[in-house]
Structure 1
């Protein structure tokens, strides 16, 4: 072959390869993860909710796949979010609930779910609650904050920096405070009190909701927060408007990226406390503020689905709806959730809650909707959110670099309802460890007393000095401890758990 002909052949082959890759990327589905906060398995209509309606979520479930045994990786928020985005268990990085001024806990050099999707040609965005830290030291809230969503793979970000009950009570867009007056700079302090906004313990008359002793810091918009804040008056959020602001930003991201594959991580603040419903949703349930913000959250889901429909994108968009940890009724603010819950069971038939090693702590309401690929139905596959990284990598034909997503496994066929295969072993992180194997649930013994702050939330975290073993097929509510009757199963599960913990 002549040199010129060889060159033409190489060029042609290269162009064909590029065209094939571009075509493959174009055919990849859009991916939307709707991540709710503190929503229990039983808090949606299709899973038996009483006293509140969730028509938009129920429609997704009716036309998609509803999972009965899908789990977040931990019974608290920061660890679950870390695992979702990194494919690694949170204990490997000692990830715990963070303060509002904590440094970024995801190593910018490690692989992440959004980075992997960027390589597959996706535009990536995060809208909503972050709570994974920012920067690497003391944060200057008055300038661009280095180290944040951009450094872990998000092209666009619009954030609540931590949670609604922590300062600073401002939004960040692409790592800069939105609407900040440079003549009114922000100062934030955790621990040391600073003069600025009134303090809740001094001015209870200013509060819309009274609180426990841990939420007695700066009063902003009638809500006493954790931590202290000064300045930034023009940038402060209004709690009642948060769902509208976040949903608008999510839908704008969809509109701006409609012509190429996109990944949207839509992390709602609802139904985390403080539960402050917009007037549109006040008394939309029989359960007071907690029920009202469930209805509000459902509306947000409906708005995103509607935005996808308007853009003609719904058919080829993979929507994953789920939550970061189990339900909690009393978590710092007095909104009478325990008194008004009635016959509603936030965790369904499952024992436990947020902070707990029992099943309701991590067994999440989970719906997968993708009209092009997913047939309506129900799945009992045992799955974990830590596996979404490897599963989605398989879906978009991306290899995972060595050392990345070390705990993530590919169960894409199961997420899409094409298989009922689930995990052989599943880890549930809390203030101890739960461990699943088939129908068996093992909880590690713990000799430390339950902290007062957990006791005050009316939570049983599952602390026992002896091992606990439950047969979930026969005893889904984890009532009868069978550890003494099946020592061989306890030993096997202890050994398997030890191997994971020591990897």
Structure 2
């Protein structure tokens, strides 16, 4: 063969093969700068629902496995202990005072203003496949529902499952609206029944696992915000009586199963090393008035208050590439930091709108010299700004405010009773008093002055007369 002819053959082969190889690389090799993100968020859970955070009288082996494979965080906070407000913070990286999403929004409410980008929108913009399977609760108007706000695949409810004719306290009022089940932008069940509600955890989990299997070869963001263990409690027949402790334990065991199904799907598809798995055990503390249908927190009060029982929640983060397995952390940070931290890990641009959260990955990793970029984290209850905590988690300031405390617990799904009390301006040293029992404001006047000034600044910036 002549040299010239040989060179021509080589050129022709290169022209044919190299583009093919490049195309193959593009299809089969995932961008290492785009790890998958899995975010599980429970509703109205309690700090001690799962081991290792508590010692419940029923097994929670799958959450325990996740904790052994990742890092458990004991000082993780949400800025408001009510459904919609807590979810808006997580999805936007912005405080309730900025988004004006307070409390729990009902059927037909537009919810989160479109000017605030969601985590789904941010990651979709960066080439991620996005899916939400569960409770949205950030808007129930056209253009505001989950499938309109950055989630390409979706299923679940647009608001809390108690907002229906089976509401435990006010069925006549909530019965005005049908509880609809949506799938990929369409209503597939116009009015949920009790039998349908028993299947919620299973349906969400099945869709989440299918989403992982379907998108294993491309970067994805899976958001799994469960409806449970918010009342009224519903679980599948498979788990009925399984805990031996009643309905609440059965529901928690099914949620534990769900965590295991997702974790196993990630492993089965060979995605474990390149997946950031975030498990937040609740959007806020337990709804204590429901007694045996709510969980137990070791901290003061529960849902609907800014005491630690309402705003402090267990968190596990698993990312084998960077987080040492089986470790724990008592570093303090907040759900407002999740979005910017995920953006940093996925090489995604921050939202164009202003946000309040910070990238706290160095803090999460406990990198030597890492410091929290926040001076404080704020707490509010509905439209009332009520206090702050120092970013090191030691000092908590309560401004003078009313709060509810349990008078009588309910039984069997019936609501109990609260009474109203008031707390004066108070300072708690959580290092020595994690249960907020002793006001030390007179013992630490300089610290009190510092936090009062920060609180006043926050109130001026985010809370106007119109919202107070």
1:174 corresponding residue in structure 2: 184
8 Å Cα contact 1:391-1:412 kept in structure 2: yes
Which residue, out of 434, 445, 454, partners 2:400?
445
Deviation at 1:430, TM superposition (A): 2.5
Which residue, out of 334, 359, 377, partners 1:426?
377
1:54 corresponding residue in structure 2: 60
Q: Distance in 1 between matches of 2:140 and 2:293?
A: 32
Q: Distance in 2 between matches of 1:462 and 1:123?
A: 47
Deviation at 1:154, TM superposition (A): 1.4
* C-alpha distance after superposition, 1:360-386 (max 9, x if no partner): 211111000122221121111101011
Q: Distance in 2 between matches of 1:61 and 1:346?
A: 20
8 Å Cα contact 1:74-1:80 kept in structure 2: yes
Does 2:116 correspond to 1:110? yes
8 Å Cα contact 1:39-1:365 kept in structure 2: no
Q: Distance in 1 between matches of 2:72 and 2:346?
A: 23
**Count of matched residue positions in the alignment of Structure 1 and Structure 2:** 411
8 Å Cα contact 2:247-2:293 kept in structure 1: yes
Q: Distance in 2 between matches of 1:50 and 1:471?
A: 28
8 Å Cα contact 2:85-2:104 kept in structure 1: no
What secondary structure is seen at the aligned counterpart in 2 of 1:364?
strand
* C-alpha distance after superposition, 1:120-159 (max 9, x if no partner): 2211111101111221xxxxxxxxx443223321112212
* C-alpha distance after superposition, 1:148-198 (max 9, x if no partner): 223321112212121111133331112211155xxxxx7xxxxxxxxxxxx
1:204 corresponding residue in structure 2: none
Does 2:370 correspond to 1:415? no
| CA distance 1:89–1:311, shift in 2 (3 Å) | same
Q: Distance in 1 between matches of 2:105 and 2:388?
A: 28
Q: Distance in 1 between matches of 2:202 and 2:183?
A: 16
8 Å Cα contact 1:358-1:462 kept in structure 2: no
1:355 corresponding residue in structure 2: 304
Q: Distance in 1 between matches of 2:29 and 2:303?
A: 43
Deviation at 1:468, TM superposition (A): 1.4
User: Gapped runs of 5+ residues in structure 1?
Assistant: 1-15, 136-144, 181-185, 187-219, 223-236, 339-344
| CA distance 1:390–1:310, shift in 2 (3 Å) | same
Deviation at 1:249, TM superposition (A): 0.9
Q: Distance in 2 between matches of 1:462 and 1:249?
A: 44
What secondary structure is seen at the aligned counterpart in 2 of 1:126?
strand
Deviation at 1:273, TM superposition (A): 0.7
Judging by fraction of residues, say which structure has more strand: 2
User: Gapped runs of 5+ residues in structure 2?
Assistant: 1-21, 165-177, 410-414, 462-468
| CA distance 1:152–1:453, shift in 2 (3 Å) | farther
What secondary structure is seen at the aligned counterpart in 2 of 1:41?
coil
Which residue, out of 382, 394, 398, partners 2:332?
382
More divergent stretch after superposition (450-459 vs 364-373): 450-459
1:342 corresponding residue in structure 2: none
Deviation at 1:28, TM superposition (A): 1.8
| CA distance 1:290–1:459, shift in 2 (3 Å) | farther
2:249 corresponding residue in structure 1: 291
Instruction: Give the TM-score taking structure 2 as reference length.
Output: 0.81
Q: Distance in 2 between matches of 1:175 and 1:454?
A: 42
